[in-house]
Structure 1
């Protein structure tokens, strides 16, 4: 019996549909602890020794660490997955599948403010006025890593992120690809799928790490 089935049996009387509904609601609220997990999942909030391992997996698979307020609601569940795998309570293939699904939730949460089909004119106007001197350098850098020049409808916010970073005179981006680049590239790739095939496809799209 998998840990997931154990939770369904113990906490939801075997009702898988009720479990999935509760899980979806918890993810939407950004608070996985709202679900009545079994002891392992509840104890994940105290698995501090797994925190670094969890964040390392996020960084490896996404290529960057999202802001803390994006990651934190999802970390207890991630730590529980890791602990369960370390305890040999989960097969490697099941762990990797669950891990990929969960890390996509984190990626998608980081993208949630950019799921619109078109950006507001005020944002587009800001793009044309904010940190303009860095515009060419940013587009060139992103195009270099992508292998092509992205369409503005895909890259607008990503470019604004990178312009802001480049404007910081106390920090210089390295010549090689950096975590900041990976976050920008993730947004571009996400929006490419979003605008072509819809949000469900974008949410399921591969991670870039």
Structure 2
């Protein structure tokens, strides 16, 4: 009976030891699984974070490119506007010079046949003037001479007064007074210029 009792005691110890090992093995397996789960979650979070950063950088780059494009376009528009202003100023001065030249009766200067880019308007006589030839003819014509006399209350004006009168009364024709055909041509020309400018801008951006 004693040997059986010893055997039973030894088996009980072995069973207890095995149970402890199994419990420990299970704990280790659970911990390993938990660690693996945490590692995967961390890897997913890292990947997500990387994707967010890339998307953010791409968005910043797009915004930067867009800002650059806008800046280039603004500069080009400003440059075009300044260029047009300079052309208008040159044209205005040239017209004033030709008014002064043709105010003199003895003017023998060669006159341009080219039509003005913008027709002129004599406010004193209420007529449009399409070219320098027409300007010279108008300034020395009876209708305009009468308007000058009336302005001086039928007293002869000296040269500088007549020049001042002519400069004051000869202006760009208001759009509503322009010849419709000429107006349409000008609009077409403007549209062509605008199209060419846009094309230039697109080529510059590329």
TM-score in same-fold range (> 0.5): no
Q: What TM-score do you get using the length of structure 2 for normalisation?
A: 0.22
Greater share of strand residues, 1 or 2? 2
Greater Rg by CA: 2
Using CA pairs under 8 Å that are at least 6 residues apart, name the structure with larger relative contact order, 1 or 2: 1
